[in-house]
Chains A and B, each alone.
Chain A
Amino acid sequence: MEGFTGTGLACIRSDRVVFAGLDFAVSPGDALVLSGPNGSGKSSLLRLMAGIAAPAAGEINWLGRPVRDDPERFFAAIHYVGHRDAVKPALTVRENLSFHAALRRGEAQIDAALDQVGLSALADLPARLLSAGQTRRLTLARILATPAPLWLLDEPTIALDYRSVDRIKSAIADHRAGGGIVVASTNVPLGIDDAKTVDMAAFAEDNRTLWGDTVDEFPAGDSA
């Protein structure tokens, strides 16, 4: 199948099975939302998807071919936003973004990306002066600065105010309208209600209950 798929994925961290037998499939223009309580493996799955960690079992395919056959082709096609911001406090906002854009392929649009996340006015300020939310916006500007068809977002809305969340929602909508794929772990609705959802709790070892109650009863915005 075209798009981004995974079959029979398992993740083991320090002798503990985080999840096993997990399948997913996303076609161009679609989105996949990972839900589940803290510690259910949302971040671990995103790290497997991004190729940072190797799955203990199973295979991930990009455009019908296994990722591990040609990792560089796959890496050129993704943007990964982890829960750490990868922002250097000593560099200015623009220098930070330009550096990350230079690592990726494709023409970089630094100013347009800064404008889109509302950081144009702060572009020449050292990043250490930014607030937590502004730092997160700078991180998200990375995915707008260079084109890549697959976005892997780990809790993208953490520390953001509602206006910034709206900007991210519209950026995701635009990306999908252009045939892009979004995989996001989140507890905040991202305006992608038509997306498929993987409930990570279902893939935990022996489907054990990770938390006493259902996920919905917990406040939004926690990180995995």
Chain B
Amino acid sequence: MNAFIALVARDIRIALRQLSDTLMVIVFFIIAAALFPLGVGPEPNLLARMAPGILWVTALLAAMLSFDRLFQNDYEDGTLELLVIAPQPVWLTALAKIAAHWLTTGLPLLVASPVIGIMLNLRPDGYGVLMATMALGTAIISLVGALGAALTLGSRRSGVLLSLLVLPLVIPVLIFGAGAVEAVIGGFPATQQLLVLGGVLLACVVVCPWGCAVALRMAAE
């Protein structure tokens, strides 16, 4: 447990010291979302109709930018070898890396999303469910993305490969995340969508750290 906390603390500390890397993801999120009113026109009703979808797609693409460096630095400087032979299970190490990734990427995306919601004229009753689905969704994205990052570790052009691998896997998150927001705006309950997202999150918490551990061992070898 000591090692878990030390790893999370170290990754957060590095993220804060290299703040430009962390902010890049958020700035991309804001800029990409700001392109839509410019592209489709500033008609408020049209934007309000599209807001949940735009928010989810841009958040997803922004998160993709952050995964290529998740394990890459540790892989290159030899830290990964030491993490693999540390006297604690590798899945716990992977879970610590994922937790730190969510805190430094998922959480800022979550905080930025209502601001973009205002910009896109999202209906007021949509914010609560937006935050709830974003909280679940960003955690799922961190877990699945980490698995992709571990699997593509050491390959050439791993950033592109990673997106090709991860984006299809997180389609359910997009469908149920955006669907939940649209349902609430349309006057329907979003319980079903939230339950599905919660279920996917639980499955990912079980499967992804374990898969990461296997992939990291192979990469270190």
> CB within 8 Å of B: which residues of A?
47, 50-54, 72-73, 75-76, 78, 80, 82-88, 90-91, 95, 98-100, 102-105
Separation of A103 and B10 alpha carbons in the complex (Å): 12
A-B contact count (CB 8 A): 75
B83 and A103 contacting across the interface, CB-CB below 8 Å: yes
Instruction: Tell me the minimal C-beta distance from A165 to chain B in angstroms.
Output: 21
Please indicate the chain B residues that have their CB under 8 angstroms from the CB of A82 in the complex. 78, 81
B46 at the interface (CB under 8 A from A): no
Return chain B residues, CB-CB under 8 Å to A84: 76-78, 81
Quick check: A75 and B82 within 8 Å, CB to CB? no
Which single member of A53, A80, A83, A95 contacts B82 (CB below 8 Å)? Answer: A80
State which size class the interface on B falls in. Answer: 20 to 34
Binds A, one of B11-19, B27-35, B196-204: B11-19
Determine the residue in chain A with the shortest Cβ distance to B217: A52
Nearest Cβ on chain A to B215's Cβ, whole angstroms: 15
Residue from B10, B77, B88 with most neighbouring chain A CB atoms (10 Å): B10
Q: Which residues of B contact A (CB under 8 A)?
A: 2-3, 5-7, 10, 13-14, 17-18, 73, 76-79, 81-89, 220-221
Residues of A within 8 A of B81 (CB): 47, 50, 52, 80, 82, 84, 86
Assess the B6–A99 pair: CB atoms within 8 A: yes
With beta carbons under 8 angstroms apart, the residue of B10, B18, B86 that contacts A95 is: B10
B78: which A residues are within 8 A, CB to CB?
82-86
- Does B87 contact A86, Cβ atoms closer than 8 Å? no
Q: Tell me the smallest distance from the CB of A76 to a CB of chain B, in Å.
A: 4
A103→B86 contact, CB < 8 A: yes
